[in-house]
Structure 1
Amino acid sequence: MTLKQIERLRLKIENIKKTLASEKRKFGGYDDSRGLRYLPTTYYVQLADYAGGLKYTKWFSKSFPDDVGFPDFLFEWAILLYKAGQIKQAGQKAFQTFCSNMYVIDKFLERPIVPIDMWEGWNLENESFLEYFQYNHQQPELKDFAVWLQSFLLTDDFTRAASQFVELRKALDKEDNIEKRSGLVKQISRLEKGDIFLA
């Protein structure tokens, strides 16, 4: 990457931060319907500025505590954590990526995409999202992350949690009872936090 390209990416990050800060001053909160808040992680990964990226995600968590994020955003967050040596947190974020779109990790690792018949809450969770996903395990700067991710997917904690997640989603797809559906949604929400990987 040339100095000019680096400067351009840094400028993009700064402009996004300024726009979001301006919105907060103007409206007393964030009105980011364009989704600008999800873009900086892409630029931080491209810059290999993992410390800067984590500083941004810390701000994101504080500013948007209920925002689950998009699948690629969560994936980039996992990369930032892994590259910064925060392995447990990277595992948690990788699992959250899996929960947000079960096909993203397979796409990254170039594994066969096998659609699963289960409840999907929005279009970001289905296969069609993959056409926008830009990462691949063969990218030189992501090879170490890819090796770690492949081994992480084989851990007992991940296989157990992933299996439970799929089963809960399948049950939700077939359940009509409102109370039972509510119970399933609560179980899924608890599981999606991925706290098991921080233990």
Structure 2
Amino acid sequence: MKIPKTPRGLKNQINRIRAKLSDFEMEHGSIDDSSGDRYYLFYLYFILNDNQSSAEYIRWYEKKFPNDMGEPFQLLCWTLIVHRMGLEPDRLLARTMLSNIHLIPRLLGQPTSTARDEWHAITFEESEYLDSAPEEVIAAITEEDRLWIGEKYKSEPFQKVLQRYIEIETQLKTTPVGEERSKLVKESYQLTDSFKAVKL
């Protein structure tokens, strides 16, 4: 799907996609978004850069998809949308960082390791996934956005979580199914809990 270049085009596409999701929910009682429209909408709202409409969509998304893991670019857009509202979405940024550990270094122009790609078959987590970055999203990231991301990313709390995550992933590679593996997986999911969440 091509991302529009004008605010009017962005709003029209947003309205069409949201109408489609609402119609599906009315007909079936729930939303089956196998096409990932809920993620694509984050791209559109980020590029549109309208805090009020973005906040409304985020509240809707959190209500409809409360346990959604998200995907790297969607999480990045969500994080920066909230940051531009003058808030500190540290937990969202941490989730973004762990969703694909190559993403933030690439945004900051830093080298990344490909070693972790051996650990997962999930496309979102591979370095090659970043090659599919929506050009319009990358172009909408400002220098101030990058400076803020870089400051947080290099800070001790973020680096501590990142290193522990890498340690866990390395251990999971050789840890068989059982109690120890379950503990590691649980810890991995809870790593971002140390950061304060933002509620709109």
The within-5 A match list for 1:49-198 is 49-87=50-88, 89=89, 91-117=90-116, 119-120=119-120, 122-134=122-134, 139=139, 142-191=142-191, 194-198=192-196
- CA distance in 2 between partners of 1:13 and 1:34 (Å): 15
Q: CA separation of 1:166/1:74 partners in 2, compared to 1, >3 Å: closer, same or farther?
A: same
TM-score of the superposed pair, with normalisation by structure 2? 0.88
Give the paired residue count.
193
Q: 2: CA distance between counterparts of 1:30 and 1:120?
A: 28
Displacement of 1:92:
1.2
Tell me by how many angstroms 1:164 deviates: 0.8
TM-score (norm 1): 0.89
Q: Distance in 2 between matches of 1:68 and 1:54?
A: 19
Structure 1: segments with no counterpart, 5+ residues: none
Task: Tell me by how many angstroms 1:54 deviates.
Answer: 2.5
Call closer, same or farther: CA 1:137–1:153 in 2, change over 3 Å: farther
| Distance in 2 of aligned mates of 1:141 and 1:114 | 23
Q: Distance in 1 between matches of 2:37 and 2:139?
A: 25
Q: 1:63 to 1:80 in 2, by over 3 A?
A: same
Separation in structure 1 between the aligned mates of residue 27 and residue 139 of structure 2, nearest angstrom: 41
Taking the aligned partners of 1:129 and 1:24, their CA distance within structure 2 comes to: 30
Corresponding residue SS for 1:30: coil
Structure 2: gaps spanning 5 or more residues: none
SS at match of 2:70: coil
- Higher relative contact order, chain-length normalized (CA < 8 Å, sep 6+): 2
- Matched position secondary structure for 1:94: helix
Residue 29 of structure 1: how far off its partner (Å): 0.4
Contact 1:109 1:136 in 2 (8 A): no
Q: Distance in 2 between matches of 1:184 and 1:62?
A: 29
Contact 2:47/2:137 (8 A) holds in 1: no
